[in-house]
């Protein structure tokens, strides 16, 4: 896991360097003025797709939906997807229900893009075009470099379907991720604080919601902590009641439209005082510093790497093997 995390700057630099190729492929397959975009994924890829929903819907101003594969794979209830663009995400490209769902979406009228790290996979074969993440083999069960590459792939797809306002900033992603990797100390300090924690809530809003979910998953996978990710809005609708004195809450907060709501939530959490607030942000005093100058729409990528660092360090402190968590496998064959 540590070695694959260290590869991320190079992986992201290579992917950003293919921006023109990827944008041309997306424009070549997408319906002109698509009725909507539907995303299908599971696990970490599903959380990448949540980021994709924000990135694509904001850029394209077209409705973006996350598919529930069971509706078609189990309940056999087809949906009319005429003039829709479908984007299926699977690092292995071999998850049966994602492949089946992509086939069914094409039959229903959609044009399909596969985002995968395995260009010779069944998923790539059934899609109209495949975006190869080119991240290299990922041996550790927790996805690291393929997750960050999936986020960048969605950012590139969003640029292809919208005005391309962030096109010139894509090259900076690898540098922002390297900035995080060059500072492992903050994650080590947070891991020390979390050593005896039995639970954790991670919170973000807008683009950062996906990272809140992924951070919780990484902690569950590698450390067996009962971690849950929430939108700042959803947290207030009941789950916040579980926050007791010294309960750890990881907040992911960057400049942008979602920041005022996050600031308000953090102020409330700190004033009770109930939670042990662990703040990830680009300003002074952050427990987990994020790189300054990174646009909100791209900030989830270095933030996800920061969460990976915490999960890795906490697993090591607990004497656990982060590469092979008990009971998990690299390819999950859900149908």
Give the active site residues.
330
Tokens of 29: 């397959």
- What's the CA gap between 306 and 55, in Å, rounded? 20
Which residues are bridge partners to 204 per DSSP? 231
Main-chain phi, psi angles of 86, to 5 degrees: -105, 135
Sheet holding 288-289, edge to edge: 226-231, 199-204, 247-252, 275-281, 288-289
- What's the CA gap between 222 and 326, in Å, rounded? 9
User: What is the Cβ-side half-sphere exposure of residue 21, based on CA atoms within 13 angstroms?
Assistant: 11
Tokens of 142: 């927790």
Strands, DSSP E only, in 7-102?
36-40, 64-66, 84-89
């Amino acid at each position: 896991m540590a070695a694959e995390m260290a590869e991320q700057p190079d992986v992201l630099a290579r992917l950003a360097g293919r921006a023109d190729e990827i944008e041309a492929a997306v424009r070549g397959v997408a319906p002109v003025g698509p009725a909507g975009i539907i995303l299908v994924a599971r696990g970490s890829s599903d959380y990448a797709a949540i980021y994709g929903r924000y990135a694509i819907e904001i850029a394209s101003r077209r409705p973006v939906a996350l598919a529930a594969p069971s509706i078609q794979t189990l309940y056999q209830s087809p949906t009319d997807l005429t003039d829709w663009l479908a984007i299926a995400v699977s690092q292995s490209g071999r998850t049966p229900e994602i492949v089946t769902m992509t086939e069914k979406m094409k039959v229903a009228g959609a044009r399909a893009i596969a985002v995968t790290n395995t260009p010779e996979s069944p998923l790539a074969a059934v899609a109209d075009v495949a975006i190869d993440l080119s991240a290299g083999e990922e041996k550790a069960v927790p996805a690291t470099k393929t997750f960050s590459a999936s986020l960048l792939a969605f950012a590139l797809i969003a640029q292809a379907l919208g005005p391309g306002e962030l096109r010139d900033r894509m090259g900076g992603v690898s540098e922002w991720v390297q900035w995080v990797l060059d500072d492992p100390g903050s994650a080590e300090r947070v891991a020390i604080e979390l050593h005896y924690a039995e639970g954790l809530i991670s919170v973000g809003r807008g683009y950062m919601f996906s990272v809140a979910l992924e951070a919780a998953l990484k902690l569950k996978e590698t450390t067996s902590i009962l971690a849950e990710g929430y939108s700042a809005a959803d947290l207030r609708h009941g789950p916040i009641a579980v926050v007791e004195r010294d309960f750890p809450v990881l907040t992911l907060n960057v400049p942008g439209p979602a920041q005022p709501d996050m600031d308000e939530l953090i102020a409330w959490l700190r004033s009770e005082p109930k939670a042990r607030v662990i703040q990830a942000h680009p300003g002074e005093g952050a427990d987990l510093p994020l790189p300054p100058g990174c646009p909100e729409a791209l900030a989830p990528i270095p933030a996800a790497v920061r969460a990976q660092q915490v999960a890795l360090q906490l697993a090591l402190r607990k004497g656990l093997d982060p590469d092979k968590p008990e009971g998990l496998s690299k390819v999950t064959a859900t149908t």
